[in-house]
Amino acid sequence: MAVRESEVRRAEIVRLAKTSGLASVDELSAQFGVTASTIRRDLSHLTTRGLLARTYGGAIALDPHPESSIRQRAVEGFDAKRAIAKWAAGEVHPGETVLLDAGTTVGAMGEFLRDCPRLTVITAGLTALESLADADDVRVECLGGTLRHLSQGFVGPLAEASLARVSYDRAFLGADAVTADRGICEAEIEQTRLKELMMDRAGSIYVLAHAAKLGRRPFHAWAPLPAGVTLVTDATATAADTAPFEDAGIVVVRV
């Protein structure tokens, strides 16, 4: 019986490491109701079998959650993303300057901003550029940089240098995932560095993330959330999903 329990626990540890990105000894010990020593033996066993790689204080999966392409993301949570984008666009006032991040949810805002009078949009994403390319009444400014083909967004020193020369009334940011304690999660540090700079230059900050992205840790690059951020998610987000954000002083909007 004890052998069976350890096998089930170890299989669940591998699953958690794959979906959450990181398995902490302390968190796993509390979750499974066993000692930290037992968890360490589990991790050693799984490492020997080549299923995990040990890190300080825990382990990570050797085959971490892959980053989806922009085409794959476009069909994930389509209705939820559209509802979020429509609500976020309603926050924009005529004559404002706003920043639109890369990504499908933020990019979908372009459709709802085309007729906003005297609007200036600064963007790092090709999705937003495509939506606004023929919106003659919207001034569009594009951040330069290196194009990430997966996310269809610009990153790197040139994009960062461009941000240093502008500010804007509102910034709308996407995320591969978001947590209350660590902030925005992305696949690469270049992405999170750019998001930090975006947030630093904004009057108001909105993070757009449908419910499936809340509380997840699929990668290991993070952009901490400053005070006063608004998290916009969809109506399927539960009280348990949003409570950590609300407890951290983050304004949560469900649409």
The HSE-up count of residue 155 (CA atoms within 13 Å, CB side) is 19
Residue 219 near residue 66 (C-beta atoms within 8 A): no
- Quote the pLDDT of residue 27: 81
- Quote the pLDDT of residue 67: 54
For CATH 1.10.10.10, list the domain ranges present in the chain: 2-61
Q: What angle do CA 14, 222, 154 make, to 5 degrees?
A: 115
**Looking up tokens 């550029």, which residue turns up?**
129
For the domain made up of 2-61, the CATH class stated in words is mainly alpha
Of 92, 26, 24, 93, whose CA–CA distance to 59 is shortest? 24
For CATH 3.40.50.1360, list the domain ranges present in the chain: 70-254
Which residues share a beta bridge with 173? 207
Residue 58 near residue 25 (C-beta atoms within 8 A): yes
For the CA atoms of 27, 5, 214, 81, the dihedral, rounded to the nearest 10 degrees, stands at 170
The DSSP output letter for 184 is: E
Alpha-carbon distance 100 to 20, whole Å? 27
Domain 70-254, classified CATH 1.10.10.10, yes or no: no
Instruction: Give, for all 255 residues of the chain, the pLDDT tens digit.
Output: 456 788 888 888 877 776 555 557 888 888 899 998 998 888 888 877 767 666 555 655 554 545 554 454 544 567 889 999 999 999 999 999 999 999 889 999 999 999 999 999 999 999 999 999 999 999 999 998 999 887 889 999 999 999 999 999 999 999 999 999 999 999 889 999 999 999 999 999 999 999 989 998 888 899 999 999 999 999 999 999 999 999 999 999 999
Pull the structure tokens for residue 184.
Answer: 């925005």
DSSP secondary structure, 225-254, as one string: PPTT-EEEE-TT--HHHHHHHHHTT-EEEE
